[in-house]
């Protein structure tokens, strides 16, 4: 890894792989490639990983990867909450929809952990690999091209412009990816009927294991985070301004009606500043590659929050990319066909998962949010799952382990 600066000339950095974006996909891929002996730079535009809540669900598939990397014991020492049984209220009927203890997973629970703890952990553990360089406060602004292929990234940090030359650039810069836009890659929008308002309120003396609450015209998720509730209030697409116009008191009252357990602490929502809007999108790239460039994670496919799978799919993409490309990168620049193997491996799980999200959106979310809708009755599929415990293991497996789970095959090079 060499960095050069000549008087007056732009600074340059030469690496084998340049990863843009230090989210779950980028940090995991950076860790795996450096572990495999590949000179890797991860560019993260923010100065740190501390950002608003944005996906704290570490599923058994990701815990399995941490286990295979020998990191699981230290990882589970970080503060986290565990969830095994996913239950919801449909109107007044409480149903169990998934039970992770029935999946056979080695770590059979979802670990709720702030995403910044997860990312800081990967960065700290990655320090043992000298080939990993995590460049914070470094924003990719453009791609460098040669012979119609990508051969690096133009970036900017606190000292000004920086050119990073690389055999491979991997876009892990999320759903608003700059890199994929610079590469002219087309996005196919699938669409979502809802947006989500995230907020947290303190815990009172009571607790409840219920995750989802659905009533005519309203839907909410409540995640028990130990000393507070992380809540997701689902609204019809584009309706945030209308919700705001009805006022904070009406918003608080709706929440307490849906989840009476929040009554004693609802005053923690003091203003709209305490409420964050997630504009829900489901989309995917038609093509994930250009010569010298690969997109993975949200940059290749934004997921709906249904199932809380976005972080875990991003990690699975990273594991597959390292498995398929580490050796190729050691020997040179992977061909576009070799990069395409990552898409071939990951497209099926991504499409099946998005199809499940669309099914839930169309059948549960749309029904729940219908204005003036009839009182909610649990859908037939939910009643069947609740009645047949082994089916709860299947739904949990789909959600928590996913389709075609990845295992770490890239080897460690000391």
Ligand X SMILES: Cc1cc2nc3c(=O)[nH]c(=O)nc-3n(C[C@H](O)[C@H](O)[C@H](O)COP(=O)(O)OP(=O)(O)OC[C@H]3O[C@@H](n4cnc5c(N)ncnc54)[C@H](O)[C@@H]3O)c2cc1C
Which residues are near ligand X by CB under 6 A? Answer: 20-26, 43-46, 53-57, 139-140, 172-174, 178, 198, 278, 297-299, 303, 305, 308-312, 314
Min separation Cβ 140 and ligand X, Å: 4
Assess contact for 22 and 134: CB atoms under 8 A. yes
Token pair for 84: 């095994």
Write the DSSP symbol of residue 335.
P
Min separation Cβ 202 and ligand X, Å: 20
Listed in sequence order, the residues at least 6 apart from 233 whose beta carbon sits closer than 8 Å to its beta carbon are 196, 197, 199, 218, 219, 220, 251, 254, 255
Q: Which is nearer to ligand X, 36 or 313 (CB)?
A: 313
Q: At what angle do helices 24-35 and 310-331 cross, to 10 degrees?
A: 30
Residue 211: Cβ-neighbour burial (10 angstroms; 0-12, 13-18, 19+) = buried
> With b meaning 16 or more CB within 10 Å and e meaning fewer, what string describes 12-50?
bbbbbbbbbbbbbbbbbbbbbbbbbbbbbbbbbbeeebe
Q: Which is nearer to ligand X, 45 or 345 (CB)?
A: 45
Which residue from 126, 115, 171 is spatially nearest to 310, judged by alpha carbons? Answer: 115
Q: Which is nearer to ligand X, 61 or 386 (CB)?
A: 61
Min separation Cβ 23 and ligand X, Å: 2
Return d(Cα 406, Cα 61) in angstroms, integer.
8
Min separation Cβ 135 and ligand X, Å: 9
Min separation Cβ 205 and ligand X, Å: 26
Sign of the four-CA dihedral 42, 46, 47, 50: negative
Which residue from 386, 398, 394 is spatially nearest to 309, judged by alpha carbons? Answer: 398
Min separation Cβ 392 and ligand X, Å: 20
Min separation Cβ 44 and ligand X, Å: 5
Q: Which is nearer to ligand X, 140 or 183 (CB)?
A: 140
Q: Which is nearer to ligand X, 263 or 276 (CB)?
A: 276
Min separation Cβ 58 and ligand X, Å: 8
Helix locations, 69-175, DSSP H: 72-75, 115-126
Three-class secondary structure of residue 2 per DSSP: strand
Q: Which is nearer to ligand X, 21 or 393 (CB)?
A: 21
Assess contact for 213 and 89: CB atoms under 8 A. yes
Min separation Cβ 116 and ligand X, Å: 10
Return d(Cα 283, Cα 299) in angstroms, integer.
10
Assess contact for 361 and 192: CB atoms under 8 A. yes
Q: Which is nearer to ligand X, 10 or 260 (CB)?
A: 10
Return d(Cα 90, Cα 161) in angstroms, integer.
54
Q: Which is nearer to ligand X, 111 or 382 (CB)?
A: 111
Q: Which is nearer to ligand X, 114 or 174 (CB)?
A: 174
Min separation Cβ 412 and ligand X, Å: 23
What is the distance, to the nearest Å, from the Cα of residue 46 to the centroid of all Cα atoms in its chain?
A: 17
Q: Which is nearer to ligand X, 151 or 197 (CB)?
A: 197
Cα diameter, the chain? 73
């Amino acid at each position: 890894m060499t960095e050069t600066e000549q008087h007056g000339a732009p600074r340059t950095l030469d690496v084998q792989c340049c990863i843009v974006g230090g989210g779950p996909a980028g940090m995991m891929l950076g860790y795996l490639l450096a572990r495999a002996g590949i000179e890797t730079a991860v560019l993260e535009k923010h100065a740190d990983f501390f950002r608003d809540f944005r996906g704290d669900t570490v599923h058994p598939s990701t815990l399995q990867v941490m286990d295979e990397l020998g990191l699981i014991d230290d990882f589970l020492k970080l503060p986290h909450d565990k969830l095994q049984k996913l239950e919801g209220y449909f109107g007044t009927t409480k149903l169990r929809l998934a039970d992770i203890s029935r999946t056979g997973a080695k770590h059979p629970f979802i670990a709720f952990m702030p995403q910044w703890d997860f990312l800081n952990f990967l960065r700290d553990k990655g320090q043992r690999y000298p080939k990993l360089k995590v460049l914070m406060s470094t924003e990719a602004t453009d791609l460098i091209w040669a012979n119609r292929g990508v051969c690096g990234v133009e970036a900017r940090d606190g000292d000004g412009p920086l050119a990073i030359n690389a055999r491979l650039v991997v876009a892990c810069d999320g759903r608003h990816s700059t890199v994929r836009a610079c590469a002219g890659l087309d996005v196919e929008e699938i669409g979502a009927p809802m947006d989500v308002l995230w907020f947290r309120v303190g815990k009172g003396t009571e607790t409840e294991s219920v995750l989802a609450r659905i009533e005519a015209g309203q839907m909410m998720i409540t995640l028990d985070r130990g000393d507070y509730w992380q809540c997701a209030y689902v609204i019809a697409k584009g309706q945030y301004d209308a919700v705001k116009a009805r006022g904070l008191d009406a918003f608080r009252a709706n929440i307490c009606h849906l989840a009476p357990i929040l009554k004693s602490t609802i005053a923690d929502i003091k203003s709209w500043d305490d409420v964050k809007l997630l504009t829900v999108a489901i989309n995917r790239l038609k093509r994930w590659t250009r010569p010298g460039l690969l997109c993975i994670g949200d940059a290749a496919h934004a997921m709906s929050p249904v199932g809380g799978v976005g972080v875990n799919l991003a990690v699975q993409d990273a594991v597959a990319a390292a498995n398929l490309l580490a050796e190729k990168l050691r020997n040179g620049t992977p061909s576009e066909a070799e990069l395409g193997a990552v898409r071939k491996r990951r497209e099926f799980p991504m499409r099946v998962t998005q199809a499940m999200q669309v099914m839930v959106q169309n059948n549960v979310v749309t029904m729940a949010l219908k204005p003036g809708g009839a009182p909610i009755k649990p859908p037939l599929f939910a009643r069947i799952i609740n009645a047949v415990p082994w089916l709860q293991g299947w739904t949990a497996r789909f959600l928590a382990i996913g389709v075609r789970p990845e295992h770490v095959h890239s080897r460690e090079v000391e």
